[in-house]
Structure 1
């Protein structure tokens, strides 16, 4: 009987963990709009360092953690720069094609001399 129950217990555990993670993500606003996601990130930034310090004291570890680096990355700016680069490349394509064709023809002429 035990060999039949063990796979069921494993499955129930996995489903419970996945359901709990999904519930926490929905409840904290991670799956909402960008404003809710930003608020959830700020809450996490405020809650994680004190929690780590508390656990370190609980386990008797007195190490100093390095400070969290400041990341200056804006997805909006990255998106805009990618769009600008694509549009710029597409607008320059006919000119570049003509230029490279002329260079290729000149190279072939120089080879035949």
Structure 2
């Protein structure tokens, strides 16, 4: 009986966490525009360290947990660079496909000689 219940509990936990994440994204309108997303990021940067400190004090883990890493980079800049690289790769894809096809035909011609 317990062997059947544990996987069910794990599955329900994962579904609950995923559903909660989707609800928060929808409720905070994080996918609407970049201003709301950056505003939510700034709120999270302010709220998370306070919450972690509160929980550390509550559980008595004051000296046991390492300090949280500092984020000294722009998440938007990394996101934009990834989008730029993806779009650049997609824009040269037809040319590259033509080049690779040409190389493949040349290779096949050389094999048949």
Give the TM-score taking structure 1 as reference length.
Answer: 0.61
Structure 2 gap segments, 5+ residues each: 1-18
1:12 corresponding residue in structure 2: none
**Aligned residues of 2:31 and 2:37 also touching (Cα < 8 A):** yes
After superposition, the CA RMSD in angstroms is 3.0
Aligned residues: 90
Structure 1 gap segments, 5+ residues each: 1-17
How much does 1:40 deviate?
Answer: 0.9
Q: Partners of 2:39 and 2:110 in 1: how far apart? A: 60
1:72-99 CA-to-partner distances (Å, cap 9, x unmatched) read: 6522221111111122121233233222
2:100 corresponding residue in structure 1: 96
Give the TM-score taking structure 2 as reference length.
Answer: 0.61
1:5-27 CA-to-partner distances (Å, cap 9, x unmatched) read: xxxxxxxxxxxxx79x847963x
Work out whether 1:77 is the aligned partner of 2:81: yes
